[in-house]
Amino acid sequence: MSSSDTEVHRGLAGVVADTTSISKVVPETNSLTYSGYPVQELCAKCSFEQVAYLIWHGELPTEDQLRGFVETERSQRELGSATLEILDRLPTTCHPMDALRTAVSVLGAEDETEDEPGREANLAKAQALYAKLPTIMAAFYRRRQGLDRIAPDPSLGFSENVFQMCFGKVPAPEIVAAFDTSMILYAEHSFNASTFAARVVTSTLSDLYSAVTAAIGALKGPLHGGANEAVMRMMLDVGDADRAVAWLDEQLAAKQKVMGFGHRVYRNGDSRVPTMKEALIKVAGLTDGQQWLDVYQALEQAMLDRKNIHPNLDFPSGPAYYLMGFDIDMFTPLFVLSRITGWTAHILEQQAANSLIRPLSAYTGPEQRPVP
Ligand SMILES: CC(=O)SCCNC(=O)CCNC(=O)[C@H](O)C(C)(C)COP(=O)(O)OP(=O)(O)OC[C@H]1O[C@@H](n2cnc3c(N)ncnc32)[C@H](O)[C@@H]1OP(=O)(O)O
Ligand SMILES: O=C([O-])CC(=O)C(=O)O
């Protein structure tokens, strides 16, 4: 679309919409930093809890700060009866992202201080969501399987507790570490579509729950977070590495997008992929997952050969979550458990220096005319 006298930026591509101090994506050097720290180093040296604290506070926690932060998270995991009842009434056929979106809406409706302004009040709401979202996800997951809910275990760390509530057991530490890596890598990525949706809602002075609900809706789509589910469905369809090239050629001939490839900002590969691929390799080694690693390598190479397009983070995350035992439609909800940190940090940043987000459009309809 273009207009004779207006430059149109479709999809806001290349538009710098505001400043942020939360993370920096530099496609030229293929780097991503959270408050200045490279994500690769954060994955090597920190837990997801430490990174969550960093995203909200701009600094890594001291030991005391971390202790307090972790205690708060562990003490807030339980759900109220209204949320549990509503989760129990949802059709089990609905996508788990619908369940998360609905539950966040219920938590907002239940919160009498929903509209309270100020950083402290909103940070507390953000941390409570970070603590409760895994419980919501696991409760819905178990219900769909016809299984009883497993209560959160306050003796377990964030990632261990996700496994415990879903499967009733915590896997090998290497698997938990790979999951933790995925949480760190998924936590924050500047003005991506779901974060921007949260900022748009916040910019009208609406409440944090409404902004998070919008963000969940935006993340669900397969061009964004929904791609990690689409990747695994695609890999199952390919089935065997030997079929990858022929399968890809068919997709490209049919002008189909290949899920888990390409990125709006990165042009030469996603900074997070090597770290997540390493985690996937570890998980595959521990779970008899060589078949999916082979499909991964074959598709990655074929896509480079055919289109020179690199994988994004959803490409290694999809098979990693699959090998960890999660149902495919739980993959984007897992993304939510992490991105709640980035979303809400942006909500707080938007609230602190607000300007209504309202771009212009170039009109292409009929000229003004009288109503007949
Ligand atoms: C965590 C995340 O959200 S990461 C993103 C997850 N999403 C996906 O993996 C979905 C698949 N990827 C895509 O659809 C795209 O790469 C997007 C949406 C992520 C980025 O898209 P944009 O920046 O708008 O680029 P656009 O879609 O215009 O692609 C540019 C060109 O590359 C091609 N291309 C980009 N990605 C892909 C892909 N995955 N498969 C096939 N072709 C692709 C397009 O067809 C287009 O080619 P053309 O110029 O010949 O028409
Ligand atoms: O930045 C984007 O457009 C999408 C993405 O990778 C993310 O949100 O993690």
How many CB atoms are located within 10 Å of the residue 26 CB? 12
Give 355's DSSP letter.
Answer: -
- Cβ–ligand 2 distance for 264 under 6 Å, the answer yes
At 147, which amino acid appears? L
Calpha distance 189→191 (Å, rounded): 7
How many CB atoms are located within 10 Å of the residue 117 CB? 9
DSSP 312-350: -THHHHHHHHHHHT--GGGHHHHHHHHHHHHHHHHHHHH
Calpha distance 9→262 (Å, rounded): 19
Q: How far is the CA of 139 from the centre of ligand 2 (A)?
A: 27
Q: How far is the CA of 313 from the centre of ligand 2 (A)?
A: 9
Which bin fits 157, alpha (ψ -120 to 50), beta or left (φ > 0)? beta
- Cβ–ligand 2 distance for 265 under 6 Å, the answer yes
- Cβ–ligand 2 distance for 192 under 6 Å, the answer yes
Nearest ligand by distance to the CA of 224: 1
Name which residue sits closest to atom 9 of ligand 2, judged by CA: 189
Q: How far is the CA of 255 from the centre of ligand 1 (A)?
A: 11
CA angle 289, 187, 183 (to 5 degrees): 30
Q: How far is the CA of 305 from the centre of ligand 2 (A)?
A: 24
Domain covering 23-220+329-352 assigned CATH 1.10.3470.10 in the classification = no
- How far the first Cα of the chain sits from its last, in Å, is 29
Calpha distance 143→248 (Å, rounded): 37
Contacts 24+ apart (CB under 8 A), 91-94: 92/143, 92/144
Give CATH 1.10.580.10 domain extents, the chain. Answer: 23-220+329-352
Name which residue sits closest to atom 5 of ligand 1, judged by CA: 224
Calpha distance 203→195 (Å, rounded): 12
- Point out the residues that are catalytic: 263, 314
How many CB atoms are located within 10 Å of the residue 213 CB? 23
Q: In what order do the strands lie in the sheet with 37-38?
A: 23-26, 31-34, 37-38
Name which residue sits closest to atom 51 of ligand 1, judged by CA: 255
DSSP bridge partners of 24: 33
Q: Output the pLDDT for position 4.
A: 54
Residue among 44, 55, 50, 60 at smallest CA distance from 275: 44
ipTM of predicted complex = 0.98
Q: Output the pLDDT for position 5.
A: 66
> Each residue's pLDDT tens digit in the chain (372 positions)?
444 568 999 999 999 999 999 999 999 989 999 999 999 999 999 999 999 999 999 999 999 999 999 999 999 999 999 999 999 999 999 999 999 999 999 999 999 999 999 999 999 999 999 999 999 999 999 999 999 999 999 999 999 999 999 999 999 999 999 999 999 999 999 999 999 999 999 999 999 999 999 999 999 999 999 999 999 999 999 999 999 999 999 999 999 999 999 999 998 999 999 999 999 999 999 999 999 999 999 999 999 999 999 999 999 999 999 999 999 999 999 999 999 999 999 999 999 999 999 999 999 999 999 999
Calpha distance 129→131 (Å, rounded): 5
Residue among 37, 52, 47, 14 at smallest CA distance from 339: 52
Give CATH 1.10.230.10 domain extents, the chain. Answer: 227-323
Secondary structure tally for the chain: helices H, strands E:
16, 3
- Cβ–ligand 2 distance for 189 under 6 Å, the answer yes
- Cβ–ligand 1 distance for 257 under 6 Å, the answer yes
Calpha distance 206→273 (Å, rounded): 35
Domain at 227-323, CATH class = mainly alpha
- Cβ–ligand 2 distance for 101 under 6 Å, the answer no
Name which residue sits closest to atom 19 of ligand 1, judged by CA: 263
Q: Output the pLDDT for position 2.
A: 46
CA angle 322, 335, 320 (to 5 degrees): 25
Nearest ligand by distance to the CA of 9: 1
Q: How far is the CA of 187 from the centre of ligand 2 (A)?
A: 10
Question: Any residues with CB less than 8 A from the CB of 221 and at least 6 apart, and which?
Answer: 193
Give 261's DSSP letter.
Answer: B
Position of tokens 């990125």? Answer: 263
Calpha distance 74→158 (Å, rounded): 8
